[in-house]
Structure formats: structure tokens, C-alpha cells
Amino acid sequence: MGTTVRTIDWDEGDAATGPAVAVIDQRALPGTFRVRRLATVDALVDAVADLTVRGAPALGAAGALGVALAVRRHPDDADRVRAEAERVAAVRPTAVNLRRGVERALARLDDGPGAVVAEACALLDEDEATNRRLGHRTADLVTQLCGDRPLRLLTHCNSGALAAVTWGTGLGAIRELAARGQVAEVLACETRPLLQGARLTVWELAQMGVAHRLLVDAAAASAMARGLVDAVVVGADRIAANGDTANKIGTYALACAAAHHGIPVLVVAPESTVDHTTASGAGIVVEERAPDEVRAVAGVPVAPPDTPVYNPAFDVTPAALLAAVVTESATFRHGAWARAALPA
């Protein structure tokens, strides 16, 4: 993962099959590695909704490729394409990248189907370079904050190659630190209720050959108290203009515990995840998901079937609790954004 296998890609197909979006089925991991071929917008919408494909950058790609699918199936009906595009954009309201991907591909609609497909594929091609730069900048900042030594890092949910087209954001930064010899161990929170940390992050860390341990979400504060964590590194699904950050539910609690113990929390995400039109986290719409995700684990009931459930997919962490928000081109620290120098 990271350089040869894309989490999501365009499959041009042939006369018999037609075009499709190819995605790694993240529901099947770690038990089975399989790639699904999504040949309709309906199939793509369902795949985004049921988390077959997930993660902010990957959802941005899904948005753009959804428009590509629509325009290839309805090349002479721009209104139909726009309607299908809106269906894709609206599936998961918190993830700003999804709508950004849709809007980017739709901007080429007047130039014809080929231009739309080319724009969507360009987004795919940019992903690894963006995330590598992002990881390099974050690794430099982690070193500045924690020292040039092997570090014990804690992460939550999955922000690796599976959350992007390739390479990853938060876990991509950890990948960069590991390449520099600066990772002693990664503690990966299991991430209830859908266990993205246990199923996906641990799988990626094993693929990377990075030392790691899995812990239940409720053990993270205890690990900090015992001195087992030097820094917390996570991704994001939407970042407000003031640095408030929406990420997988449980991130806010981690940031509160980390603040108590003086541990820096770094949020790592591409610039496309920053929503400068949303002033603060108060304006971020938080998706609430189906109650059966909590009432069951892997399809096995763990609560009475009629139990009322509160199941937000994300929470919002105030910028004041974060050491930094890092993108490939800017860093939010001390209450303000600072642009990064571009590479020569």
C-alpha cells in the first residue's frame, strides 16, 4: 500500500463492461483483500454510504469519479449529470472533500465527457505527491516538537493509504517518520463502533513493518498517563477556518486527555479538507449514522434490538487543543494559518 495499489481508481473497461470505479472494499479487511468494480452512480453512492470507500481524500476521488461515471452514462444530458453529481456529494455531509471532488469534475462539464474524466483522473494522480509533501512537513514539525529520536505515537481511526488514493495523511506522516527511524511504536485505537483502527490501521502498519499495538479507545488516556505517548497524529474530514477540526468520533476525547498530559496533537490533512467558508467547528454538520452500527459488532448483536442509540460519526476538536493542523501548503498554529514555502 502507498505506491502501487490505489484505494480508488478509474477503470475504463471495454465494450462489454463499460467504465467503472474500482475500489478496495474496506469492509472486507483485514480478512479479505478484494477490489470491487462500481459501474453505476447508484453503486458508488451505496459504497460511500456503507464505508466500502472512506477517508477524506478517497472520498474526494469518489466525488470526482462519480461525476465521471455519470457523464459517461449520460453524455448528452447535462442536467441528469448534475443531478447525479448532487446525489454523490450529499451522501456524507461532514466530509468536505466529497463535495469538493464533485465540484472539481463538474467544472469541466461544458468541455465534454473526456474533459470530465481527465479532470477526475488528474485528481487521482495528484494524491500521492500531495500526501508525501504533507507527510514530510508533518514529520518535520513532529521532530521540532518532540525531538529527533524514536517516538511513541498514538493514532485514531484510519488515515493511511486506505483513506486516500494512496500513501495517506496522518498515517502517511507516521510512514515518513518511520522511514527516518523516528518511530519506536504506534498505538492504534480500535475506533468503535466500526473498528477502522483495528481492521484497517493495524493492517496497514503491519504491511509497513512498523512496530505497533492495538488498544481499546478507552485505554488511550491511561496510556498517556503512563508515559507511553509522545504525540497524537490523526487525520480530518473537515477543518474550519479557525482550525477547529472534525474527525472520527473519539478524537475530541483524545485531545482533551492529551492537553491534560501536555502531549501535542497534530491533525494532518490535505488543503482540500480545509473549509474556509465555515468560520468555526460550530458550523460543521456532523453525520449521525445508523443505530445498528452500535447495537451490533460485525453483525452480532451486543445490545437489545430496540435500544436507543446516539451514533455521531465525527466529533469536533477545538483548535485550542491542537498543537497544529498541517496541510501540504499551510500550518495552523497559535491561532493563525501560515503558508508554507513551496519546494524549489
> Would the pLDDT of 232 be above 90?
yes
Average pLDDT (310-324) is: 98
pLDDT for the residue numbered 342: 61
CA gap 310, 288 in Å, rounded = 8
CA gap 36, 47 in Å, rounded = 10
pLDDT for the residue numbered 74: 95
CA gap 139, 235 in Å, rounded = 14
Share of the chain above pLDDT 90, in %: 94
pLDDT for the residue numbered 39: 96
pLDDT for the residue numbered 5: 82
Give CA angle at 199 (299, 64), nearest 5°.
95
> Would the pLDDT of 1 be above 60?
no
pLDDT for the residue numbered 14: 86
> Would the pLDDT of 344 be above 80?
no
pLDDT for the residue numbered 298: 85
Question: What b/e sequence results for 326-338 when a residue is b if at least 16 CB atoms lie within 10 Å of its CB, and e otherwise?
Answer: bbbbebbeeeebe
pLDDT in tens, 100-132: 999 999 999 999 999 999 999 999 999 999 999
- Measuring CA to CA, which residue among 205, 214, 289, 219 is closest to residue 254? 219
Sheet containing 245-248: order of strands: 274-275, 238-240, 245-248, 314-317
- Is 244 tagged catalytic? no
pLDDT in tens, 15-47: 889 999 999 999 999 999 999 999 999 999 999
Average pLDDT (162-189) is: 97
Average pLDDT (167-195) is: 97
> Would the pLDDT of 168 be above 70?
yes
**Poorest-pLDDT segment among 7-16, 221-230, 250-259:** 7-16
pLDDT for the residue numbered 340: 81
Q: What mean pLDDT is reported for the chain?
A: 95
Q: If 0-12 CB within 10 Å is exposed, 13-18 middle and 19+ buried, where does residue 18 land?
A: middle
Average pLDDT (191-200) is: 97
Task: Give the active site residue among 127, 230, 237, 315.
Answer: 237
- Measuring CA to CA, which residue among 11, 19, 104 is closest to residue 59? 104
Average pLDDT (167-178) is: 97
Average pLDDT (227-256) is: 98
CA gap 156, 247 in Å, rounded = 9
pLDDT for the residue numbered 334: 92
